Structure 1
Amino acid sequence: MLEQLGSALVTVVLGVGGCVAYFYGSNFLLDRLFPAEGRDGVYRPRNLKVQSWVRPWLFLGPALLLLTIYLVYPIVETLWLSVHDRTGDAFVGGANYAWAFSDPQFRQSIFNNVLWLLVVPAASTFFGLVIAVLTDRIWWGNIAKSLVFMPLAISFVGASVIWKFVYDYRGEGQEQIGLLNAIVTALGGDPQVWIALPFWNNFFLMVILVWIQTGFATVILAAALRGVPEDTIEAAVIDGANPFQTFFYIVVPQITGTILVVWTTITVLVLKVFDIVLTMTNGQWNTIVLANLMFDWMFRGGGDFGRGAAIAVIIMVAVIPIMVWNIRRAQQEAGGH
């Protein structure tokens, strides 16, 4: 444990130190190569122009290089692999995509992803809004929001391990240590293998992501509620509106933009969900989603880079419209201000 902490500390120190050294070193070198003032004391406007053109790229360059290596290149390589065979050697055109849409497991993963998209963003946003409203006017509201936000600090794998103990099932005659089965047996019911129940097991997995993302929705929506002008609420109260009418007709329309941003952000996350399904069921019992199917075909028993890449491209294509919509909305709001 101490060795891991030590290596992490060294990594942080070296990373920060490297950034500082790059910043000062690159600027020092630029000033030396293109001095603003010559040895004769005369200013050199041309050098100043060169400095003003080069200096921004000293900051953008490393980021663009990393984006190219870790984002642009993988996208291009994935597109290339998706139109080649299992080894990436022979060109097969759209054969991998034709296989995908005719494969029963792929269709099952599409169905499961649609279920996740319908339930998780809506539930997380709804619970986040409810908690944000309920904790907005009480003195211990920040404490409550902090507690709700805490699951977001846990990794998906860690959260899945926690919920494995909630859904845990022991054989007949054994003491049930799973929280859910313990409650069921205490009420006189029969314990169940919850994560293996057909169809419903998908919802049991969704609960984990809702539990994690509700904290994110709560914090963002609570900030939006604080931005609602008090005079609009007071005017509604004076006009005789009850609390529900005030909330739905006055408050909600003013934070609709934030609600949509929260919903779409969680939607993008849901399209890429992987860790929870892998940890809880490994895609068994009809719980597989697109990311797990891609992982299986590319790195596990399938061993087919072409089919795995085709599934990855389909996930990317599904995410792009939502991201474009978010960016355009952000630009419109920025332009409006």
Structure 2
Amino acid sequence: MLVVRGAVKDYDWGIADGLASWAGASTGGPQAELWFGVHPGGPSPLVDAEGDETGEVLADRFDIAAIPLLVKLLAAARPLSVQVHPQLSVAEAGWRSQQAPGAPRVLSDPFEKTEMLIALEPFEAFAGWRDLDQVISMLTHIDGAQGVVELLAANNLGGAIGVLLEISTKERIASLAAAARAAGLAEAQVAAYLTVAENYPDDPGALVTVLLDYLSLSAGEAVYVPAGVPHSYIRGIGLEVMTSSDNVIRLGLTSKPVFVDQAIAALRADLQPQIVRAVHGDILWPVNSPFVVRMLTEGVERIPMGAYRILVLIEGSARVISDAAEITLRLGTAAVMAADDPDAFVEADGLVAIVQSTER
């Protein structure tokens, strides 16, 4: 059993000092994500019993086969990019093709990325495909969007996305909130579109959000996003659990590179996200997911060997005890156990996320 500290990411959409209580320091700037895993984009530092970094990272001890999951704390002040994560076949093919000299670097690794966002406070997101009647109703109130309606009626999703990007203007983006209200959407959705327009007034990808469903999560609820499902997290603080990949193909709402053709190719029109609510009090287990999460608030829980496990302290205090070690977790640290590490027990007084791989 090892203890790690999260690696901080300061992406521009992050909340100012939004993760300071977990990161252990105020930076005065955006704190967007805190990574717990072995991905080369942000490997977690190992810490000793006093909480000091040892100079090693988790990736020095284990590879992705042993650590198949990546866990993140996320703090969003404004909408993240409209994005899609590739399924395994798409990721492998894309990774091979970009090894050619001069090929664009679209992917970060050759792995599928499937994820679940657990709200730690009220959290808003665009995720999955909006009901077609609602989409058409919104589009009828956006000047010049009739061609998009025709393409959607012909089941030409890629063509519809392409036209939305082509016809995007500042005026059309500014009309999103009014179009949502005219279509009879709830005021929370109207406000979400207003947020998009205010933060990305010139970004062509803003119009693509018309195609996406709106979700409002209460603390403790989660959304499971399979690879191939488009999404854009709007605002809030949450815990993300995902396969160990950083493959993000963006359509807009970003200052980072956008790869429209590759994103459209990765989209799955037949898939939707799952809203996940706890069963047996605190267990979040999406259908066909490669992981299960238990949000333990108090008491003692046995963590059996046989699969990868990571325990992240979110609030309060916790001790983790096994035959090999006994540790006290601090905020922003996590206990990591490989599949062949012995059974452990966690004693919680606060909130601990117990994440386990379901792939043995």
Question: Given the two structures, how large is their TM-score scaled by the length of structure 1?
Answer: 0.22
Question: Which protein is richer in strand relative to its size?
Answer: 2
Question: Which protein is richer in helix relative to its size?
Answer: 1
Question: Max radius of gyration: which structure?
Answer: 1
Question: Given the two structures, how large is their TM-score scaled by the length of structure 2?
Answer: 0.21
